[in-house]
Structure 1
Amino acid sequence: MNAPRARVARRPVHGVLLLDKPLGWSSNDILQKVKWLLRAEKAGHTGTLDPLASGVLPLCFGAATKFSQLQLDADKTYEAVMCLGVKTSTADAEGDVIETRPVAVSPEDVVRVAAQFTGPISQVPPMHSALKKDGKALYEYARAGIEIERAPRQVQIYKLNMALALSDKGQSAINLEVKCSKGTYIRTLGEDLGEALGCGAHLSALRRVATGGYTSAQCVTLAALEAMPEEDRLKCLLPVSSLLPDHTVVMLDDENAARFLSGLRRRGSWPDAAQVAVYAENGQVLLGTAQVVAGELIPGRLLSPIEIEQMTQAI
């Protein structure tokens, strides 16, 4: 008979851990693994990466989960490899081959197509995605062989670099670098680019190298995190405020800070601002977010006194 597993003693952990997500893991599986490694009470991720994608995955703990939506809305940058002449059922290497075509793509074709797909474009979300229909993910319908009609959506491609290459199997390929808005499906982009080139394509590799202001250079790998002593893992956390790099900063004295935290508006000489990060006067303790309208500081997402106390003790 197996001995029962010892319960993990959870603790309050506040901050953002930038993980270099390995291939083969779902975003939720990696979140639960890191949550266990940190013994954190509360955790959430900032949008999923496919199991076949690697790269920047910000994981939010404690108070940081209150601001994780900001990363969901952030622009993303990806590097990918398009395998030309082969279409698959999932638009990536995991799917079955459904069509092959000859490849006759020139550098001029690549330049033309890159320009065609830069700027605002329309995408039909793939069936193999986590989008929901009647409370069920589209990929669940796809696995059952059911095709669901999907409305196209507008996304923005800010930068699209394409370079002809050979894949590791000697096939014609294109190396992609894409900076795009939230909600962009790179697998769908690769498939659409392949159609525009006249040969079809699927992604054979995908890596996210940046999201918002976070980059892969700041990330820690799962293997490195596992090898660390427990307390060193906490040193990998970025502060909650790292989620608010573009917010206007407002400082409050102790009296106004207390009133702000109770949800009361404050008046001051601040200029109008849609996104404000509010700190106690010493500038070290984040109180929450707000907006300023006509000199009035209007509370948004607020930290609790317990969260603030725990974060202050950790400084």
Structure 2
Amino acid sequence: MFFYKKRNVHGLLLLDKPKGISSNNALQKVKIIFNAKKAGYVGTLDPLATGMLPICFGESTKFSHYLMQSNKRYHVIAKLGEKTSTFDSDGVVIQKRPILFDSLKLISSINEFIGTINQMPSMYSAIKYKGLPLYKYARKGLNVQRKTRKIIIHDIYSVHQEKNLIEFKILCSKGTYIRTLIDDLGEKLGCGAHVIFLRRLQVASYCNNQLITLPSLYTLKNENNINNIDFFKKIDSLLMPVDSPISFLPRICLSTQKSYNFALGQTVKLNFNIKDGLVRVIEERKKFIGLGEIKQGKLLIPYRLISTHAAN
């Protein structure tokens, strides 16, 4: 087995995280496959959860926080009548109660969650307290005082209940804990509930059909000699552009000379009026060079530049 120097890889991969591993574990597997120097994931998924886990490589990590701020869509199935220690099926059942509510109570209870609400994060979450994630305290039997956080539940739809199972889809803001939402719903219904299935369907505007699975990456790896540069070309072709996390921002194209000045950190004057705000800056040969801020409708100020060696 030969050991190669880590590669400078740039772009975004939409990984379909499998069940049973942590988000960080999934990230490390992908980094090894790509032999990448730098990568990070956006939005933690529990080991129980599957689905969309955006992984930003290299220069794309500079813009990953824009995805952190975006809405997420989930498909969830919960088991009624049982409350668990972790609010999901990975925990132990700590209370059992009969299921006595009717359909009207179910719909009215669900509707109470739609809109802006305060949510108390679970002790089994990755939120840090004094440098350590809360779940590490929880595993030691410790309970840390937490503050509620404002979140937005935009919609809960496709609701279906069958016996002791309830299934629905949800569109929510950043920072929403689906396990906590299910536990809270169980309390409103008076029977308790916990998550048994959770899949993230969407982050920002990225769609479910854009996902790449770990098995498909391993298949490519096995089909190609790892020493062969063609393998890296194949997997790199799966990456979205460096500026994909900020694709919602308007873009402006600069001449070669103005692009050169902008890339050096210089303010550039524009010949036409553009609304003030952040924009993606593209060199006339279609190469993304960074994020700029328009001021006074005619000045373009460098906001976040990428390395001149980054691929587009």
**What's the TM-score, normalizing by structure 1?**
0.91
C-alpha separation between the residues in 1 aligned to 2:282 and 2:120? 42
Residue among 181, 189, 192 paired with 2:181: 189
Which secondary structure state, in structure 2, belongs to the residue aligned with residue 214 of structure 1? coil
Correspondence list, 1:57-76, <5 A = 57-76=53-72
The alpha-carbon deviation at position 119 of structure 1 amounts to 0.6
Amino acid at match of 1:37: I
Partner of 1:267: 269
Per-residue Cα deviation, 1:172-192 (whole angstroms, up to 9, x for no partner):
111021101100000001111
C-alpha separation between the residues in 1 aligned to 2:53 and 2:146? 27
Residue among 294, 302, 312 paired with 1:299: 302
| 1:112 is aligned to 2:108 | yes
Contact 1:164 1:172 in 2 (8 A): no
Runs of 4+ in 1 over 3 A off after TM superposition: none
Inter-CA distance 123–178: structure 2 relative to 1 (3 Å threshold): same
Amino acid at match of 2:176: T
Which secondary structure state, in structure 1, belongs to the residue aligned with residue 215 of structure 2? helix
Question: Unmatched 5+ residue regions in structure 1?
Answer: none
The alpha-carbon deviation at position 270 of structure 1 amounts to 3.4
Contact 1:107 1:164 in 2 (8 A): no
The alpha-carbon deviation at position 197 of structure 1 amounts to 1.2
Amino acid at match of 1:199: C
C-alpha separation between the residues in 1 aligned to 2:276 and 2:175? 26
Inter-CA distance 286–293: structure 2 relative to 1 (3 Å threshold): same
C-alpha separation between the residues in 1 aligned to 2:281 and 2:130? 39
| 1:37 is aligned to 2:40 | no
Contact 1:270 1:292 in 2 (8 A): no
Residue among 172, 194, 199 paired with 1:180: 172
Partner of 2:210: 218
The alpha-carbon deviation at position 277 of structure 1 amounts to 0.6
Which secondary structure state, in structure 1, belongs to the residue aligned with residue 302 of structure 2? strand
Contact 1:16 1:238 in 2 (8 A): yes
Amino acid at match of 1:277: R
Which secondary structure state, in structure 1, belongs to the residue aligned with residue 78 of structure 2? strand
**What's the TM-score, normalizing by structure 2?**
0.92
Residue among 179, 189, 197 paired with 1:205: 197
Partner of 1:91: 87
Partner of 2:122: 126
Which secondary structure state, in structure 2, belongs to the residue aligned with residue 41 of structure 1? coil
C-alpha separation between the residues in 2 aligned to 1:65 and 1:97? 39
Correspondence list, 1:134-153, <5 A = 134-153=130-149
| 1:160 is aligned to 2:156 | yes
Q: CA RMSD in A?
A: 1.4
Partner of 1:253: 255
Correspondence list, 1:6-45, <5 A = 6-45=2-41
C-alpha separation between the residues in 2 aligned to 1:275 and 1:158? 26
Which secondary structure state, in structure 2, belongs to the residue aligned with residue 93 of structure 1? coil
Which secondary structure state, in structure 2, belongs to the residue aligned with residue 30 of structure 1? helix
Per-residue Cα deviation, 1:243-291 (whole angstroms, up to 9, x for no partner):
2221011111111111111112222233224331110023x21111122
Per-residue Cα deviation, 1:51-82 (whole angstroms, up to 9, x for no partner):
11000011111111111111111110001111
The alpha-carbon deviation at position 227 of structure 1 amounts to 0.1
Amino acid at match of 1:272: K
Contact 1:56 1:210 in 2 (8 A): yes
The alpha-carbon deviation at position 298 of structure 1 amounts to 2.0
Question: Unmatched 5+ residue regions in structure 2?
Answer: 225-230
Amino acid at match of 1:163: V
Aligned length: 300
The alpha-carbon deviation at position 162 of structure 1 amounts to 5.5
The alpha-carbon deviation at position 30 of structure 1 amounts to 1.0
C-alpha separation between the residues in 1 aligned to 2:95 and 2:70? 35
C-alpha separation between the residues in 2 aligned to 1:81 and 1:273? 44
Contact 1:91 1:201 in 2 (8 A): yes
